[in-house]
């Protein structure tokens, strides 16, 4: 049973790992690992046309390679004035190998002539794949959405990615101006993780009961 309740976060992004470790810390798991713990894992090409497809691609690949439960997420930034761009390509908006700063700078250039408010939303799709589910591989998909606006300049030192330019009118702050504990209560990824957390708690309880019956 112990091996069964190890969960692998299917990402090498240390910022994502740090956030998700906090969000899943109190689950009844025997281990919480990430793709960095498996140096032989190959990079998964994100060939999906939606966030959900990409999240499932990554979770399936890591679950198959490790034989362990895997959770993957894919996040996009959708800006109304740019007809939804950068969308699912938010992480590489400025090109392959780009930095967070490169992406932000390109976004601000694209929006330079657009007056405020420049409405936008973050969306996260999060997928769980258990390669040893009761009927083969078990899969579950959840999502989270955070509405906001894109500022014309960066504010705040926290967070990562587009956080310094993503403004929350109800909070009067950008995500980068919020403490990580505050962000983890409202963010798109936190919403998806909360839904996944709730599902996993029930799922782990069921698999634990099946394991107990099997060993009786």
Residues 6+ apart with CB under 8 A from 201: 27, 28
Strand 6-9 relative to strand 69-79, pairing: parallel
Measured N-to-C along each axis, helices 188-215 and 14-24 cross at an angle, to the nearest 10 degrees, of 60
User: Which domains does the chain possess?
Assistant: 3-215 (3.90.950.10)
Mean pLDDT of 93-115: 96
Q: What is the DSSP letter of 54?
A: H
Please tell me whether the peptide bond between 117 and the residue prior to it is cis, using omega within 30 degrees of 0. yes
Reported as a single tens digit per residue, the pLDDT across 163-173 is 999 999 999 99
Active site residues: 74
> Is the predicted pLDDT of residue 212 greater than 80, yes or no?
no
Distance separating alpha carbons of residues 179 and 166, to the nearest angstrom: 15
> Is the predicted pLDDT of residue 137 greater than 80, yes or no?
no
């Amino acid at each position: 049973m112990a091996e069964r309740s190890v969960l692998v976060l299917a990402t090498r992004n240390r910022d994502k790992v740090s956030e998700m470790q906090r969000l899943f810390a109190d689950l009844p798991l025997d281990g919480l690992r990430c793709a960095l713990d498996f140096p032989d894992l190959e990079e998964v090409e994100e060939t999906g046309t939606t966030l959900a497809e990409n999240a499932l691609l990554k979770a399936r690949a890591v679950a198959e390679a490790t034989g362990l439960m895997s959770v993957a997420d894919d996040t996009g930034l959708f800006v109304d004035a740019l007809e939804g761009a950068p969308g699912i390509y938010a992480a590489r908006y400025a090109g392959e190998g780009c930095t967070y700063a490169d992406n932000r700078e390109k976004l601000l250039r694209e929006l330079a002539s657009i007056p405020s408010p420049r409405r936008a939303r973050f969306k996260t799709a999060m997928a769980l794949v258990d390669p040893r589910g009761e009927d083969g591989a078990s899969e579950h998909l959840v999502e989270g959405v955070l509405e906001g606006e894109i500022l014309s300049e960066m504010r705040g030192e926290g967070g990562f990615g587009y956080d310094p330019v993503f403004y929350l009118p109800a909070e009067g702050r950008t995500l980068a101006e919020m403490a990580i504990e505050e962000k983890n209560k409202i963010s798109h990824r936190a919403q998806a993780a909360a839904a996944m957390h709730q599902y996993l708690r029930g799922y782990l309880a069921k698999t634990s009961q099946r394991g107990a019956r099997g060993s009786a």
